[in-house]
Amino acid sequence: MPVEVGFIGTGGIANQHLNGLERIANARVTAVFDIARDRAEAVAKRFGSHVYGDHQELIERSGVQALYVCLPPFAHDDQEILAAKKGIALFVEKPVAITESKAREVLAAIRQTGVIAAAGYHWRYSPLTDRARGLLEGKAVGIVHGYWHGGFPQVPWWRRLDGSGGQFVEQTTHIVDLARYLVGEITRVSASYAVRSMGNVENFTVWDTGTVNVEFASGVVGNISTSCLAGMGYTVGLHIVCPGLIIEEHSNNLRILEPGKTTELRSAENPYFLEDQAFIRAVESGDRSLVRCTYEDAARTLLVTLAANQSATTGQPVMVPMM
C-alpha cells in the first residue's frame, strides 16, 4: 500500500516536493490545505487529493501517514504538534520555526510521541555532499568560508524580520547547515549586519548584508556571509580549507583542489527528490537512519542563525544554546 501524504502549504517550496512525490510509486498525495484555497485546489486536481478547510481538520480527519509542512517561518503554530500527537510522520521545510521557543515546543512533542520527523535541508542528500564528506574524513579542517549572495524573494513576509527572520535565518541557513553537516557543531558566533541599499523598500525590516564569524566545537573557525541586494541571482557555496585539500561545494557542482590537481564534479541528480525518496522510505520501513536531517538537527541549525541575529543586534559574540 502506498504511503498517504498530506500537505499543509502548497505554494513555493511545496512544488519541489510535489514534483518529487509524483515520481515515487509508493507515495500518494491524498490531503491538502493552503490558506490560498485556489492553490490547494490546483494540487488536489493534479493528484486527486481532498482539500481541507483548515490544518486541524486535515490532521484530525485525513488519515494520512506522513505530512509535509511547507510554511513560511512565522506561520508555524500547532501544525507539527497536532500531527505528532496523531502519530503522523513529519517533513518540515526549513527553517523549522522563527523562534527558539517554538522549535523547542515542537521538538518536545516529537520526542514524546516518537514520530519520524525530517527537515528540508536537501544539500545533505546530494551525491556531491557525499563525496565532500568522504574526502574530509580524517582531515584536519583549518577554516571554512560560506556565502549566499543574490536578490530577495518577492513575497511580502520575507522582507519582514517577524516574517522570515532575515536572510541568514531563511536562506543562508542552508550554508550553515551544510557547514554543520561537514565540519561539526557551531558553538559561538559573532555577527555584523547592515542595510546598505534597500532601506527605502516598503516594509523592509531585515538586513540586506551581513557577515558572521563562526567557531566550531572542534576548534575550526570560519565565516559565512550573506546579502540580498544584488537584484539578481548570484552565488551560494561553502569552501573548506584543509592541509593539501580544498573543497568548494556549490548547489550543483563540487571543486576539489589538491597539490597539482583540480577535479570538478557535477551531479544531475535532484537532491530534493532524493530527500523525498528517503523520507517516504523511512515512513514505509520505519528506518530512521534514512533521514539525514531530523527536526532536532534542523532546530540546531536554527539556533545558530538566531544566535547570529542576536549577535548582530547586540554587537556581542553569542554562545549557541544547546538543543
pLDDT at 41: 98
Give dist(CA 15, CA 5) in Å, integer.
Answer: 14
pLDDT at 51: 98
Q: Which three cell numbers stand for residue 313?
A: 543586534
Q: Which three cell numbers stand for residue 6?
A: 498530506
pLDDT digits (tens, 9 = 90+) for 204-249: 999 999 999 999 999 999 999 999 999 999 999 999 999 999 999 9
pLDDT at 141: 98
Q: Are 125 and 278 in contact (CB under 8 A)?
A: yes
**Secondary structure of 115-179 in the HEC alphabet?**
CCEEECCHHHHCHHHHHHHHHHCCCCCCEEEEEEECCCCCCHHHHCHHHHCCHHHHCCHHHHHHH
Beta bridge partners of 161: none
Q: What are phi and psi of 194, to 5 degrees?
A: -155, 160
pLDDT at 251: 86
Query: In which residue ranges of the chain is pLDDT below 70?
Result: none
Q: Of 280, 183, 195, which is closest to residue 229 (Cα–Cα)?
A: 195
pLDDT at 1: 86
pLDDT at 213: 98
pLDDT at 191: 98
**Burial of 236: CB neighbours in 10 Å, binned 0-12, 13-18, 19+:** buried
Q: Which helix (H) or strand (E) holds 90?
A: strand 89-92
pLDDT digits (tens, 9 = 90+) for 264-309: 999 999 999 999 999 999 999 999 999 999 999 999 999 999 999 9
What domains appear along the chain, each with residue ranges and CATH number? 3-121+272-292 (3.40.50.720), 123-267+303-319 (3.30.360.10)
3-state SS assignment for residue 62: coil
Model-wide pTM > 0.85: yes
Q: Are 96 and 295 in contact (CB under 8 A)?
A: yes
